[in-house]
Amino acid sequence: MNIHSDYSKRVVINHHDLPWVTSPELGVERRMLDRIGDEVAKATSIVRYKPGARFNTHMHELGEEILVLDGIFSDETGDFPAGSYIMNPPRSSHAPYSKSGCTLFVKLRHLGIDQLKREVVDTHSAKWLQGLVQGLKVMPLMQQGTGSTLVQWAPQTFFSPHRHYGGEEIFVVNGVFEDEHGRYPAGSWIRSPHMSLHQPFSKEGCTIFVKTGHLFES
């Protein structure tokens, strides 16, 4: 299965416009943003656990990143409420579930040998750092290798035009993110290819998950 598998193409999707697709596990559904492969796939998805849904123990050969959007996600290591970020490194294993239900932003099979240790960040309590322009704050998430970052834009914040070496991936967690190409409300996913150019801003304010430098080839 190939869904938006050509990384040389810009893609803009609001996941709320996509249907929920059942998974092999009862009570777990997905909205597929990009995908290369079938059940074992390099993929970006919105994943919804209904109350009581669970997976059996399984290994992530090439790692996994999770951002909990709502509810409480759990595995044998603990409970992770909305705002939790989890990086499970290559060849790690777990048995995830949700007692009350949850929704996740998930990236699978895109990590490398430089991601060695599991990382967990509570984005409600972690420290924000000053960004490159006034009104911009950043929160580093994945510390190993090509990292992921949470970026908070105050209303009426504008950034300079710039290119992204290795591309850029954005998921709008809340608020409205914009650039010269369009307006992206919460739930939007934007994937821009290697050396793409834009001038981002937010008139209303927003929080976005950003990953850069990982889109050289599909």
169-184 residue pLDDT tens? 999 999 999 999 999 9
Residue 137 to residue 128: CA distance in whole angstroms: 6
SS (HEC) of the chain: CEECCCCCCCEEEEHHHCCCEECCCCCEEEEEEEEEECCCEEEEEEEEECCCCECCCEEECCCEEEEEEEEEEEECCEEEECCEEEEECCCEEECCECCCCEEEEEEECCCCCCCCCCEEEECCCCCCEECCCCCEEEEECCCCCCCEEEEEECCCEECCCEEECCCEEEEEEEEEEEECCEEEECCEEEEECCCEEECCEECCCEEEEEEECCCCCC
Give the whole-number percent of the chain exceeding pLDDT 70: 99
Cβ–Cβ < 8 Å for 173, 208: yes
Cβ–Cβ < 8 Å for 63, 109: yes
CATH no., domain 5-9+18-122: 2.60.120.10
What's the angle, vertex CA 82, arms to CA 154 and CA 169, rounded to 5? 55
The answer, as to whether pTM is greater than 0.85, is: yes
State pLDDT tens for residues 185-194. 999 999 999 9
Candidate from 24-28, 37-41, 103-107, 134-138 with smallest mean pLDDT? 37-41
In this model, does residue 147 exceed pLDDT 80?
no
Cβ–Cβ < 8 Å for 112, 147: no
Average pLDDT of 129-140?
96
Q: How buried is residue 57: exposed, middle or buried, by Cβ count under 10 Å (0-12/13-18/19+)?
A: exposed
In this model, does residue 218 exceed pLDDT 60?
no
Domains 5-9+18-122 and 129-212 share a fold: yes
Average pLDDT of 131-147?
90
In this model, does residue 161 exceed pLDDT 70?
yes
State pLDDT tens for residues 38-66. 877 789 999 999 999 999 888 888 889 99
Q: Where are the domains of the chain?
A: 5-9+18-122, 129-212
Average pLDDT of 56-85?
94
Architecture of the structural domain at 129-212:
Sandwich (2.60)
In this model, does residue 12 exceed pLDDT 90?
yes
Q: What is the pLDDT of residue 110?
A: 87
Average pLDDT of 138-167?
92
Task: Give the CB-side neighbour count of residue 181, counting CA atoms within 13 A.
Answer: 13
